[in-house]
Chains A and B, each alone.
Chain A
Amino acid sequence: MSAESTTRPEPAALDAADRRIINRLQEGLPLVASPYASVAAEIGLSEGELLYRLERLLESGVLSRFGPMYHAERLGGGLTLAALAVPESEYPRVTELVNAFPEVAHNYRREHRLNMWFVLATETPARIDETIAEIEAATGLPVYNMPKQEEFHVRLHLPV
């Protein structure tokens, strides 16, 4: 067994009904007074069973969020993807500095010269540039700012 597989947490187990729920709800929930009853009927469950399973999936961390997907820019917020080329020896220190910013929504290490990739989400568009300037000042590294220019829509986010 490799070191990687021994340290990796066990993936959550989903049964067929869980998969139907997740795949169906990734397409969206109808905007009606009793949306769960309507979805439950579509996938052959009772409303109570659907609600129980959704609660369990949220508790177990399989679902991180259930509700509206906001369009950040139209809400008046700022959103961008940014990257840094971090020297290997400084990676832990820079990670700590970058993650200390509340505007940093998530941060991934990737295999490339640009090895730190993070999303900035701010209350106003102007805060994006300010935050980038602050991150550059804190880390001493230039931030590559790559805001989305166009989104190409995918139908289903991730079938499970």
Chain B
Amino acid sequence: MSQTGSRQAAECRLRARLEQGLPLTSRPWQALAEQCGLSESEVLACVERWRAEGLIKRLGLVVRHRALGIDANAMVVWDVPDDAVKELGRRLAAEPAVTLCYRRPRRPGWPYNLFCMIHGTRREQVEAQLAEIVARQGLEAIPHSVLFSHRAYKQCGGRFTQEESSHECRVHHPA
């Protein structure tokens, strides 16, 4: 295998290992480096490059809302004029109660093009937060619908990087 080829293989191993989570040890990058046949500084440089390229959005964590009793999750969808959706999307994303905000296509029988998520411990709390947002942002005239979730029937994620034994799936999910 060429030098470039073996470097690529090592980076692919790193990506797959990293998908399983950052090791909980004092020098996590050193631990990954040893598993992948790279040096610690090569691993850090590689992850920095992935971040600059946008492959990795950030290094952080995913909180399982339901384990904390935060299980009133509402998807609020808005029918916004196309030329106003960008501006309203930015304003909604800046609202502290909004945890995700996306523009998505309208479909026949589905007029909504802006989606945001609001999480809370109780349904009434989520409804009150939404009412505040509508009042504060002056959205009374924008048609919208609130879709509360009853329960999650499946919660895992997709896997994008293949490795020999990938058993769990994880991805930062959009909804």
A39-53 interface (Cβ within 8 A of B): 47, 51
B9 to chain A, nearest CB (A): 17
Q: Which of B56, B62, B94, B169 contacts A71, CB < 8 Å?
A: B56
Q: Which of B27, B89, B149 contacts A34, CB < 8 Å?
A: B27
A26 to chain B, nearest CB (A): 6
B contact residues vs A (CB 8 Å cutoff) = 18-22, 24-30, 40, 44, 47-48, 50-51, 53-65, 67-71, 73, 75, 86, 89-90, 92-94, 96, 98-105, 107, 110, 115, 119, 145, 147-162, 169-175
A contact residues vs B (CB 8 Å cutoff) = 8, 10-12, 14, 22, 25-29, 31-37, 47, 51, 54-55, 58, 60-72, 74-77, 79, 81, 95, 99, 102-112, 114, 117-123, 144-160
Distance in angstroms between the alpha carbons of A39 and B63 in the assembled complex? 18
Distance in angstroms between the alpha carbons of A123 and B162 in the assembled complex? 9
Distance in angstroms between the alpha carbons of A81 and B150 in the assembled complex? 18
Q: Are A12 and B67 in contact (CB under 8 A)?
A: yes
Q: How many A-B residue pairs have CB under 8 A?
A: 257
Listed A/B pairs (19) with beta-carbon separation below 8 Å? A11-B67, A33-B30, A34-B26, A35-B22, A35-B28, A62-B63, A66-B24, A68-B56, A69-B57, A69-B60, A71-B56, A107-B154, A108-B153, A114-B147, A121-B169, A144-B107, A150-B86, A152-B90, A158-B99
Question: Dominant SS at the B interface?
Answer: mixed
